[in-house]
Amino acid sequence: MRLFLDACILFPTVLREILLGAAVEGGFVPLYSPRVLEEWARAAARHGAAAEAIARAEIALLRTDWAAGEVVPPAGAADMLSLPDPDDLHVLAAAIAGGAEAIVTANLRDFPGRTLARHGLMVRTPDSVLTELLTEGRVPVAEVVDAVRLRTEAVSGRAQPLRPLLKRAGLPRLGKALDQG
């Protein structure tokens, strides 16, 4: 499964680490574009120069680890497309160019299902993707989440209860499913 990752799900660290951890385990192939990565860096920069520097280092690692996932749409490709927010056309163009099955985003409103379907795409939330992978059982999602939780505890210096951590990361359904499983 090839999934194009929108910038809004790359900057929250916990969310990104869980998604990419699931990708490492074979859950999906992550796709991204240089412009999406730049949006991630700019979002981090709003939290200060140190946050931007960390983001740029993480971007370099992503590009190394998932080099084949970088998609550069053909020049002018976005001009032929339509979305409610013209600033998101580059995401759609890159997803199409990369042969993605879906765009993974928290901004569902900006990517109408009917519009995406015309291009053979779906829109998915990170929560739905990860919950589906957990339910299918072919990816050790619980182990990925636990590893990220432990790293978060080490960095923050305090306990990170699972459900609140996942809720803050925009993964409430995954938290509930893990709690029940």
For 45, half-sphere exposure in the C-beta direction (CA atoms, 13 angstrom radius) is 7
Number of folded domains that form the chain = 1
| Sign of CA pseudo-dihedral 3, 8, 10, 15 | negative
The string of pLDDT tens digits covering residues 20-59 is 999 999 999 999 999 999 999 999 999 999 999 999 999 9
DSSP for residue 74: P
pLDDT recorded at residue 12: 87
pLDDT digits (tens, 9 = 90+) for 65-109: 999 999 999 999 999 999 999 999 999 999 999 999 999 999 999
Q: Decide: helix, strand or coil at residue 32.
A: strand
> Do 140 and 25 form a contact (C-beta atoms < 8 A)?
yes
**Which pLDDT score, from 0 to 100, does residue 47 have?**
96
Strand partners, 29: 2
Window from 18-22, 113-117, 170-174, 177-181 with minimum mean pLDDT: 177-181
Comparing C-alpha atoms, which of 27, 19, 21 is closest to residue 2?
Answer: 27
- Contact present, 151 and 16 (Cβ < 8 Å): no
- The rounded percent of the chain whose pLDDT value lies above 90 is 97
138-166 mean pLDDT: 96
Per-residue pLDDT tens digits for 102-144: 999 999 999 999 999 999 999 999 999 999 999 999 899 999 9
Residue 35: C-alpha distances to residues 13, 32, 45, 93 (Å):
18, 8, 15, 11
Which residue range is the domain that position 153 belongs to?
2-179
* pLDDT at 181 exceeding the cut of 90: no
Report the alpha-carbon distance of residue 6 to residue 98 in Å, rounded: 13
Pairing of strands 2-5, 102-104: parallel
d(CA 96, CA 109): 19
Which stretches does DSSP call E strand in 37-121? 102-104
Q: CA triplet 123, 129, 74: central angle to 5 degrees?
A: 45
Rounded CA separation 19/13 (Å): 10
Indicate whether 62 pLDDT > 90: yes
Q: How far is it, in rounded angstroms, from Cα 115 to Cα 128?
A: 20
